[in-house]
Every structure is written in structure tokens, then in C-alpha cells.
């Protein structure tokens, strides 16, 4: 009997009515002859409520206790979903992360899954039950509850799908799938039928909010194909899977804009060996995630370093740079917040030239200035003014004819 | 270092402010040199909220899923309390029932504790942490979450106190201790400094709402002395412990009225062997808890059976009696709801005569009619009109001079 793992997010279990709707979907999947495992998030809003209550009692609670507290959000979802299924005559049983045998390391609030003992889940499936598993959570080897961090429920679903060798894995969300661009920005954006892991990863790190990179990386590593689709309709979604040869016909798969980046320029530093290394070593030590980096060739023994960092890390970056500049003999830091990073992504780029030229021409035709440029095998990213970002996305989308299948 | 177990109920952890107050109490106990284990209930109201949500999805959810759902109430309490302690610089760790090694049988919603593996709790105590344990819940040997039923958190506290050989066990509640009578009824009611397990048991089954019988029975079996006291002040409470010789001087310890009983009369049944047995076998099969039983001597071959049952079980009792009456050849069932059971309790009764006479005289002097009478070694119970119940309590309280130490 084919096995399917379905993951539903917090908005899909937001109230009694939505829980009932999801239960009906699950019933249908089961009636179609599937063994069904369901992974659920906490109902939308619960996590923030709990964190607010925690902070009222302790400004910096231990992460161990935060995990113990937050885990109840999914536990509520799974028990209620099991009951909703029982209410429509579908045998169901709910499992916390611990009960589902999801063992993690000891790193509270951002644990990594080490091993899944799926025997109890498999036994229940064999006995005809739908198994509802709490996403986002696991247990370490001493029995402490851990949570997996952002996007943790997607990760639970993909890891479980790998563990029970599921035939399908469906990630239900509030969007219909992965689009060639954000449909709110590009009216003609088209939903993709499929996309490779690598393209999905580049889109995820380029501002597309559909899924966190780590879940996609996990799926790639364990070769779990999964479908991103909406829980609010029955439209087919986007299948994320290994790259196959016919995918190569498509040069560019999608366009994304990341508006949460800041550009930092370290100017007027002495152009001598080791200066750049010192700058980036300090940033790494402070856990600042540096993205695009450009070093201008030095003139008169003076160089400029430009890079982008997430907005939330900008202040930290500026702070750690001060002592470094003093050490390497001067220089100035300027921060430009009103920027966006535009990326075009596609596995076909590997074997096609001219993608960069097409992109640059399209932006030039639209009168949009390009600031930084960086490239990977399957991505080209440029920094543009934040105010022109949406326009740039539309120009790129049109230039690569992404509105046509 | 002396060990203490403290149990706080749902009203004591009802909001952030109360959680803070309890945390301060715990801090004080620790500062006085105790190793402290704290057992918590779910915050008042949470359990009913969760049950309402469950019933909206499924009129009769499985008890396994109800337990899975309800267990989150205590898990929230313990994590928040651990954080509150951390917030005032007290090292603390929270444990669910499963993490605290509380193993139960498989009877969901009313599980019995089979075994406690207190090693993790003892290790944390030795390392200087306050250990916060979720009351009311445990785990069966297959890892399913179970709950212990009414009064379950008291039971958790007493069982843990036995398991870790605690020097003291304190049950914090919203009353100051055990009184000679309900202080709302008898203005001169006096708080008892101590009371024996057996007296506490008789009071519990006589309408005194301080604690459930099963927790007291468990304490008696494992010889755990515990103190019932208030979490809203610092008054000493009532110590519940084994009977000691000097207790015997007290003939009557307290008076209680149970207003949740109904009197059922089965009249005009054939006075032949086996009729009564058939009646009570049918009631037992329907899980009706019969309390006081009186059979009037038969005249003209006709007998009357009178007994009391909890109000909530009256309809069920009447229903199962119908076919029985048909079988034994007729009879009528009448139900009297406006009654109360008055009990006077004291271990000293065993060796003192005249207690019944004193009670009956006091009620007679007050013009209160006595209906049924039943006695145990340390208790005399009578049924009176519900409307006269409070008056009867006051009369008995005065007759035994319970207002005087």
C-alpha cells in the first residue's frame, strides 16, 4: 500500500473548522488507498503567545525550558487532529516527537535530527491507523524535549518520509506551490510543475519564503521528492526533486528578490595582504552571515570591500568592524539599507551562456542600475535599489519569458 | 539535606503574578536548606478549555487522545515555573510525567501509578536544582501518555515523596488546612493541627472537598506524612499522618456534610432471599457507587430497601433498577434528592461509647429529623433534610465542643 506523508502548517490547523477541513483531506487520501502519516505545526499564534508568557516570567529563559514549553503547541494540534479523524470514523493516533522516535542532538531550540526509530509509526500504519506526528520537535538521548528551529515541521515531514520510505511527501502551505516569481509582484508569474533541489535551494536563499533551506538540503541528501501545495484548494502543487535531464531545457526557472539585506561598504582600507581576511574573520566570529562580497581593485594602495548581510545582523556587523579597522590601520564603514538582492535561478544556466547578458540588458533597458554582482553555477544575483526591486523582478521575468510554460 | 515535595494546584499557577509568588515561596524553601521537588497542576481553566475544543471535534474522543491533549496543561505550568525560578536566579528544571519516570498502567484518564524511576529527579536535586514535575500525568510502558484522574496531582506529589523518601510533603491548596467543619457553615470551626489518615479518609468520603480519598489512601499505604496548607498565606496547615496514641484523647475530630447524595427507596419488593443481592449486583454492574444502605425488616412478606448514591449517578441507578424489579416480581423506585449526609469522624470513637447518643440528642434538640443511620469504627453518618444540613452541622459541632482545642 503506497505511503504518503502530509505536512500541514499552523494556519491549516488554526481553528476547529480548519482542523475539520484537513481531517477530510486526510480521510480522502486514506480512502484512495494510502497509508497516511500527517505532520502538524502548532496552531498559528500559539508559539508567540507562549513566548510572551515565558518572557513575562524570565527575560532570558533557558532554551531547555523554552523547548519544553513550545512543544505543547504541536501536541495540542496532533491530539485535536486525531480526535477530528476519530469524529469522522477514521482510526488515528497522535505521536509527540519523542513518541515518534525522533532523536536529535542536545542543541535546544535548533536541534538536528540524528536518528528516527519509526517502528511504532510503521506498526500503527500496518494496523490501519492514520499516524499524526508533532512537527518541529524531538527528544535527545537523555529524554529532554528539543525543537528543530525555523521550518522544523517541514524537516520532520521530510525526515519521516525518508525513515518510512514514503512514496510521496506533501508539504501543505498557504501558497499553491513554487512560482517563477512572487505572484504579488509579477502578475504573470507561473506556478512551476517541478523544480530541482538545487534550484529550490537557490530560490530559498534568494528571498523566496516558501521553505527553509535546511529542509530542502535534507530532502536532497536523502533523495526525498516532495510536493509543495496549498491546503486551501485542490490544485496540484510543485514537485521538488532531483534534477533530471529534461529539466535542462529550462535555462532560468525563477526570479526572486531578497529585501531583507543590507549593503556594507568598508572603504579606504590599506590594500595589503590579510586586511580582508581580518574583516571577514571578525564577522564570522560574531555569527554575521555575509552573502555577496566584492573587493574593488585598490588604487593608490587603498581598497574598498563591499558585502551584504541580513538586516537583523547589520548593527552587530558594524560593531565588530570598529576594532578591526583600528587594527588594520583605518578605514570607514558605511551602511546602505535600502537595497534588494535580485536573483535568477535555473539549472540550465550551467550549459547556457548569455544568461548574465540577458539579465543585465533587461535591467539596463528598464533604467535600473546594477550595484553588486555575484554568480553561482545555477544563479546570478545583483544588488539594486530597494525602490526599483519589484520593477527589476518584472523586467527579468519578462526577459526570460517565464510567463510561458 | 532535607528533601521536601511541594504541590501547588491550578489556582496557585493561574496567572503570571501567581506563578511568580509561588516561585518566591520555592526560593524561600530552598534558601532554608531544602532540596525541593515541586508538583504542579494545569493552570485553572485550561483543562476545561481543552476539553471543550476536543468535544467540538469529536463527541466521544478516545481516552488515549484526551490524555495526550490534557497533558499539555501541566507541561505549560512546569516550564513556566522553571523559567520563573530561573528569572530569580534559582536553578530549576521541569519534568513531564514521562521524564520524571512516573510509569502507570494503561488505563487512560484514570491510570494507576505502577512504578517511579526517580533517578533523574534525584540527580538534579543532588546537583542543586529545583525539580518541577507535571502532576496528574504519567506514561505507560509503551510510551503513551496517561493521566491519573481527579486529584491526580496530589497523588503525583505523594507518590514522588514516597519514591525519593522526602522528609516533608506539602499540599498547597486554596484552604488553610483541614477544619473541624466547613468554616463557611460553622463560624467557630477550628483548623486541625493534625489528623490521622483514617480520619482524613472518612472526611474525604463524607463531603469534605480538601482531597480525594485515593491520594490519602496512597499516603497511608506508603506512610507519607503530608501537610495541607494554603499557597496564599504562610499559616501552618494540617499535618495528615499515622494515628499516634495521643490522638486518641480526641473523640470526634470533625464534622462534614455531603450534599451531593440522593436517597433511593426501592419499596414493596418481595421479602425473599436474593432480592437485595440482585438489586446491588445490578447497581455495581452499572458502576453506581452505593453508599449508605438500610433494609427495613419485612412485614407481610414485603420489604423496603433504602440507599444513597451520588447525584450524578441517580438517573443511571433508576434505569438499571427497572429490569431488576421486573425480574424479582415488582416493587417501586422513588428518588429523594433534597437530602444531605452528615458525618462525625474521629479515631477516638473506637474506644468511647456515647458518641451516637450525643449526636442524636443534639439533632433532636435542634428539631432535626434523622432519616438513615450508618456507622463505621471511626464515623457515624446520618441522612437529614438538605434544608437542615448546615444547622445539623452546627449542632453537631457544638455538641462535641469542636470549637475548643
> Are the C-beta atoms of B263 and B306 separated by less than 8 Å?
yes
H or E segment to which residue B353 belongs = none
Rounded Cα–Cα distance for residues B171 and B211 (Å): 9
Residue of higher predicted confidence among B289 and B392: B392
pLDDT above 80 for A321:
yes
Mutate to test the interface with A, among B27, B52, B79 (most CBs of A within 10 A): B79
Residue B208: the pLDDT is 74
Of B68, B94, B144, the CB nearest to A75: B68
CA-based nearest distance B72→chain A, Å: 5
Spell out the residues 6+ positions from residue A146 whose beta carbon is closer than 8 angstroms to its own: A67, A97, A104, A105, A106, A107, A108, A109, A111, A137, A138, A139, A140
* Cβ <8 Å between A80 and B69: yes
* pLDDT mean across residues, chain A: 92
* Cβ <8 Å between B83 and A20: no
Residues of chain B with C-beta less than 8 angstroms from the C-beta of A98:
98, 143
What is the Cα gyration radius of chain A?
24
Cα angle: B120, vertex B126, B131; to 5 degrees:
55
Residues of chain A with C-beta less than 8 angstroms from the C-beta of B93:
64-65
- Name the residue with cell 536553578: B91
Residue B18: the pLDDT is 95
Which chain A residue is nearest to residue B50, measuring alpha carbons? A76
* pLDDT mean across residues, chain B: 92
* Rounded mean pLDDT, B289-310: 82
Rounded Cα–Cα distance for residues A309 and A261 (Å): 6
Of A58, A93, A144, the CB nearest to B83: A58
pLDDT above 70 for A340:
yes
Residue B347: the pLDDT is 87
* Cβ <8 Å between B82 and A62: yes
Residues of chain A with C-beta less than 8 angstroms from the C-beta of B72:
72, 75-76
pLDDT above 80 for B15:
yes
Residue B212: the pLDDT is 87
| Structure confidence by residue, pLDDT tens digits, B87-140 | 999 999 999 999 999 999 999 999 999 999 999 999 999 999 999 999 999 999
Of A65, A87, A143, the CB nearest to B79: A65
Domains of chain B: 3-174 (3.40.1160.10)
All cell numbers assigned to A271: 590594500
CA-based nearest distance B89→chain A, Å: 10
Of A16, A93, A96, the CB nearest to B57: A16
Residue of higher predicted confidence among A106 and B243: A106
Residue B36: the pLDDT is 98
pLDDT above 90 for A376:
no
Identify which of A76-90, A195-209, A245-259, B293-307 has the greatest average pLDDT. A76-90
pLDDT above 90 for A328:
no
| Structure confidence by residue, pLDDT tens digits, A159-169 | 999 999 999 99
Which chain B residue is nearest to residue A145, measuring alpha carbons? B99
| Structure confidence by residue, pLDDT tens digits, B153-164 | 999 999 999 999
Residues in chain B: 405
- CA of A200: how far to CAs of A186, A206, A207, A346, B103, in Å? 19, 10, 11, 9, 46
Residue B388: strand, helix, or coil: helix
Look at residues A339, A398, A391, A333 and name the one whose alpha carbon lies nearest to residue A367: A391
% residues pLDDT > 90 (chain A) = 73
Q: How many pairs of residues across A and B have Cβ atoms under 8 Å apart? A: 116
If you ran DSSP here, which 8-state letter would residue B175 be given? S
Residue B297: the pLDDT is 66
| Structure confidence by residue, pLDDT tens digits, A16-41 | 999 999 999 999 999 999 999 999 99
Residues of B with CB under 8 A from a CB of A: 16, 19-20, 23, 50, 53-54, 56-59, 61-62, 64-66, 68-69, 71-72, 75-76, 78-80, 82-84, 86-87, 93-94, 96, 98-99, 120, 142-145
Residue B102: strand, helix, or coil: strand
All cell numbers assigned to A108: 535546544
* Rounded mean pLDDT, A238-243: 92
* Cβ <8 Å between B72 and A76: yes
Residue A192: the pLDDT is 92
Residue A302: the pLDDT is 82
All cell numbers assigned to B173: 491548596
H or E segment to which residue B267 belongs = strand B261-270
| Structure confidence by residue, pLDDT tens digits, A185-220 | 999 999 999 999 999 998 877 767 788 889 999 999
Residue B243: the pLDDT is 83
- Name the residue with cell 433504602: B306
Residue B375: the pLDDT is 85
Of B58, B64, B72, the CB nearest to A72: B72
Residues of chain A with C-beta less than 8 angstroms from the C-beta of B86:
58, 61-62, 65
Residue B250: strand, helix, or coil: coil
* Rounded mean pLDDT, B79-94: 98
Residues of chain B with C-beta less than 8 angstroms from the C-beta of A132:
none
All cell numbers assigned to A163: 525513515
Mutate to test the interface with A, among B69, B88, B108 (most CBs of A within 10 A): B69
- CA of B57: how far to CAs of A7, A135, B72, in Å? 20, 21, 18
> Are the C-beta atoms of B26 and B6 separated by less than 8 Å?
yes
Cα angle: B12, vertex B14, B17; to 5 degrees:
85
Spell out the residues 6+ positions from residue B261 whose beta carbon is closer than 8 angstroms to its own: B291, B308, B309, B310, B311, B339, B340, B341, B383
Residues of chain B with C-beta less than 8 angstroms from the C-beta of A76:
50, 69, 72
* Rounded mean pLDDT, A272-288: 86
* Cβ <8 Å between B76 and A144: no
All cell numbers assigned to A41: 505545526
Residue A297: the pLDDT is 66
Of B16, B57, B98, the CB nearest to A57: B16
* Cβ <8 Å between A79 and B68: yes
pLDDT category of residue B301 using cuts at 50, 70 and 90: confident
pLDDT category of residue B250 using cuts at 50, 70 and 90: confident
* Rounded mean pLDDT, B189-218: 88
Cα angle: A184, vertex A186, A191; to 5 degrees:
85
Does this model's pTM top 0.90? My answer is no
pLDDT above 90 for B329:
no
Burial of A224-235, coded b for 16+ CB within 10 Å and e otherwise, reads: bbbbbbbbeeee
> Are the C-beta atoms of A259 and A249 separated by less than 8 Å?
no
pLDDT above 90 for A121:
yes
H or E segment to which residue B100 belongs = none
* Rounded mean pLDDT, A133-139: 98
* Cβ <8 Å between A68 and B75: yes
Mutate to test the interface with B, among A14, A50, A52, A57 (most CBs of B within 10 A): A57
% residues pLDDT > 90 (chain B) = 74
* Cβ <8 Å between B80 and A57: yes
pLDDT above 60 for B248:
no
pLDDT above 60 for A248:
no
Residue A246: the pLDDT is 66
pLDDT above 80 for A233:
yes
Residues of chain A with C-beta less than 8 angstroms from the C-beta of B50:
76
* Cβ <8 Å between A19 and B82: no
All cell numbers assigned to B190: 477550628
DSSP H stretches of helix in B141-297? 152-163, 197-204, 213-221, 275-285
Residues of chain B with C-beta less than 8 angstroms from the C-beta of A87:
57-59, 61
Amino acid at each position: 500500500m503506497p505511503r504518503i506523508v502530509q505536512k500541514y502548517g499552523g494556519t491549516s490547523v488554526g481553528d476547529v473548522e480548519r482542523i475539520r477541513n484537513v481531517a477530510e483531506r486526510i480521510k480522502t487520501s486514506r480512502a484512495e488507498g494510502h497509508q497516511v502519516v500527517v505532520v502538524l505545526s502548532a496552531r498559528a499564534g500559539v508559539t508567540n503567545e507562549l513566548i510572551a508568557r515565558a518572557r513575562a516570567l524570565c527575560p532570558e529563559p533557558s532554551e531547555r525550558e523554552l523547548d519544553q514549553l513550545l512543544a505543547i503547541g504541536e501536541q495540542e494540534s496532533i491530539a485535536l487532529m486525531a480526535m477530528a479523524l476519530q469524529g469522522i470514523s477514521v482510526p488515528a493516533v497522535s505521536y509527540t516527537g519523542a513518541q515518534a522516535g525522533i532523536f536529535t542532538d542536545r542543541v535546544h531550540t535548533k536541534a538536528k535530527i540524528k536518528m528516527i526509530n519509526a517502528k511504532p509509526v510503521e506498526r500503527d500504519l500496518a494496523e490501519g491507523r492514520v499516524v499524526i506526528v508533532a512537527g518541529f520537535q524531538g527528544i535527545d538521548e537523555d529524554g529532554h524535549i528539543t525543537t528543530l528551529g525555523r521550518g522544523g515541521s517541514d524537516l520532520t515531514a521530510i525526515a519521516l518520509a525518508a525513515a518510512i520510505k514514503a512514496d510521496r511527501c506533501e508539504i501543505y502551505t498557504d501558497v499553491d506551490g513554487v512560482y517563477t516569481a512572487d505572484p504579488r509582484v509579477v502578475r504573470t508569474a507561473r506556478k512551476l510543475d517541478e523544480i530541482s533541489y538545487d534550484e529550490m535551494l537557490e530560490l530559498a536563499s534568494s528571498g523566496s519564503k516558501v521553505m527553509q533551506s535546511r529542509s530542502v538540503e535534507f530532502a536532497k541528501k536523502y533523495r526525498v521528492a516532495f510536493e509543495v501545495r496549498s491546503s486551501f484548494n485542490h490544485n496540484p502543487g510543485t514537485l521538488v526533486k532531483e534534477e533530471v535531464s529534461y529539466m535542462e531545457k529550462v535555462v532560468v526557472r525563477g526570479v526572486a528578490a531578497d529585501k531583507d539585506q543590507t549593503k556594507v561598504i568598508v572603504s579606504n582600507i590599506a590594500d595589503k595582504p590579510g586586511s580582508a581576511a581580518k574583516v571577514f574573520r571578525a564577522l564570522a566570529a560574531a555569527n554575521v552571515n555575509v552573502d555577496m562580497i566584492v573587493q574593488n581593485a585598490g588604487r593608490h594602495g587603498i581598497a574598498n570591500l563591499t558585502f551584504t548581510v541580513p538586516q537583523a545582523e547589520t548593527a552587530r556587523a558594524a560593531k565588530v568592524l570598529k576594532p578591526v579597522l583600528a587594527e588594520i590601520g583605518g578605514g570607514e564603514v558605511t551602511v546602505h539599507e535600502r537595497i534588494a538582492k535580485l536573483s535568477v535561478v535555473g539549472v540550465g544556466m550551467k550549459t547556457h551562456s548569455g544568461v548574465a547578458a540577458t539579465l543585465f540588458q533587461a535591467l539596463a533597458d528598464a533604467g535600473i542600475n546594477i550595484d553588486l554582482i555575484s554568480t553561482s553555477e545555477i544563479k546570478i544575483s545583483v544588488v539594486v535599489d530597494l525602490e526599483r526591486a519589484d520593477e527589476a523582478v518584472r523586467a527579468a521575468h519578462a526577459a526570460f519569458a517565464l510567463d510561458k510554460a
